[in-house]
Amino acid sequence: MIQIKKNISLAPLTSFKIGGPAKYFLEAKNADEVIEGLKWAKKNKIKYFVLGGGSNILISDEGFNGLVIKVQPAKIFFKNLSGVISAGTSLAQLVGASIKDGLTGLEWAAGIPGTLGGAIYGNTGAMGHSISESVEKIKVLRNSALINLKNKDIKFAYRKSIFQKNKDVILEIELKLQKGDREEIKKLIKENLLKRSLSQPHYPSAGCVFKNLSPRLTSLGLAKLLEKYPELENFKKSGVVSAGWLIEKCGLKGKQIGQAQISEKHANFIVNLGNAKAKDVIALINLVKKTVKNKFDFDLKEEIQYVDFK
Ligand SMILES: Cc1cc2nc3c(=O)[nH]c(=O)nc-3n(C[C@H](O)[C@H](O)[C@H](O)COP(=O)(O)OP(=O)(O)OC[C@H]3O[C@@H](n4cnc5c(N)ncnc54)[C@H](O)[C@@H]3O)c2cc1C
């Protein structure tokens, strides 16, 4: 029998520490409880939302007028380099288990908050890697039926998966890693954590707000831009224009609306200085998009997901 709670504050369950309450809230311990929760929502004609670690979302100040389902973590076991992991497992737990078992392939994920389910949804990545590289199969709940998907079915791309288009609930992920040297793994993780600590702000945030772009996406023409900003040559080579670089060049670092601020440390982060509201973050996002469009003719797209904005 599932236990549905009422009027649960969501802000503490997000890394931004922003957002109103969930009208209904379920902590699902297993697939059966997720199924029961979905049935309950259907019967009561209530919409639902699956919450992971809340580290890539902005929840509206009014909250979520429906059922929030949080998939709980389960114990991690790797056997013969493969492990079947619950979607609710945090990336931190997973990186810890890979160190313990001397498995390589997830060092890039050290220091990224959130769960494996959320990472699959947005194909989370860093340092030139992404979670898609380690995924073998995924078990999801689709219209109350359990189905297994192979890596190629998920249509992973840069910060993309099919889950952004459908309403599947991700339940379990089969990951495959490689045998590595435990000391080398630890060393790389330590280096990656240091890089993060030096480059990222320490205030509450949802990580990078905008996706990076392809240099081809400006109608001004890259040649004109390169004349003005020779640094863009680096981006041409790497194939990616950093959204943070564009925002910084617009002079927006440090810009504040209410208690939300474009980080002084990393221009692609919006930070909560204390009591920021979702509406302040939205106002900053709109300002950034408009300014970048006017200066560079690039259309920035959000990496973060919005929850329940009308
Ligand atoms: C300081 C900081 C640094 C970060 N660095 C990075 C980085 O380097 N690279 C990067 O890519 N991201 C980064 N992020 C963003 C974020 O941590 C990752 O994208 C993370 O993997 C999101 O997981 P989550 O569990 O928090 O997802 P949530 O924020 O809870 O949810 C994100 C989306 O996934 C969906 N979702 C979650 N679980 C499920 C499920 N079981 N079934 C179906 N849908 C689900 C939600 O409905 C929502 O739409 C960073 C964030 C912070 C705060």
Q: How far apart are CA 141 and CA 158, in angstroms?
A: 24
- Can you give the pLDDT at residue 309? 81
Q: Per-residue pLDDT tens for 248-277?
A: 999 999 999 999 999 999 999 999 999 999
- Dihedral sign for Cα 127, 131, 285, 195, please: negative
- Can you give the pLDDT at residue 75? 85
Among 225, 208, 229, which Cα is nearest to 216's? 225
Query: Is any atom of ligand 1 closer than 6 Å to the C-beta of 57?
Result: yes
CA angle 77, 99, 150 (to 5 degrees): 50
Q: Please provide the CATH number assigned to the domain covering 78-185.
A: 3.30.465.10
Q: Where are the alpha helices (DSSP H) in the chain?
A: 31-43, 91-100, 116-121, 182-199, 222-228, 232-238, 243-249, 278-296
Q: How far apart are CA 88 and CA 67, in angstroms?
A: 17
Closest ligand 1 atom to residue 120 Cα is 21
Q: How far apart are CA 83 and CA 177, in angstroms?
A: 9
Q: Are 250 and 242 in contact (CB under 8 A)?
A: no
What separation in angstroms does the CA of 296 have from each of 77, 156, 241, 288? 48, 28, 11, 12
**150 vs 231, residue with greater confidence:** 150
- Can you give the pLDDT at residue 240? 80
Q: Report the chain's terminal Cα–Cα distance, integer Å.
A: 33
Band of pLDDT at residue 19, cut at 50, 70 and 90: very high
Q: How far apart are CA 291 and CA 293, in angstroms?
A: 5
- For residue 163 the two structure tokens come to 């889950």
CATH-assigned architecture of domain 202-307: Alpha-Beta Complex (3.90)
DSSP-derived letter for residue 114 is S
Atom 22, ligand 1: residue with shortest CA distance: 118
Atom 28, ligand 1: residue with shortest CA distance: 54
Q: Per-residue pLDDT tens for 100-131?
A: 999 999 999 999 999 999 999 999 999 989 99
Q: Please provide the CATH number assigned to the domain covering 5-71.
A: 3.30.43.10
CATH 3.30.43.10 range(s) for the chain read 5-71
Query: Is any atom of ligand 1 closer than 6 Å to the C-beta of 55?
Result: yes
Mean of pLDDT over the chain: 93
Q: Per-residue pLDDT tens for 149-197?
A: 999 999 999 999 999 999 899 999 999 999 999 999 999 999 999 999 9
Question: Is 70 exceeded by the pLDDT of residue 9?
Answer: yes
Cα-to-centroid distance, 117 and ligand 1 (Å): 8
CATH 3.30.465.10 range(s) for the chain read 78-185
Q: How far apart are CA 288 and CA 190, in angstroms?
A: 33
CATH 3.90.78.10 range(s) for the chain read 202-307
DSSP-derived letter for residue 283 is H
| Helix orientation angle between 91-100 and 182-199, rounded to the nearest 10 degrees | 150
Closest ligand 1 atom to residue 49 Cα is 47
Query: Is any atom of ligand 1 closer than 6 Å to the C-beta of 200?
Result: yes
- Can you give the pLDDT at residue 173? 97
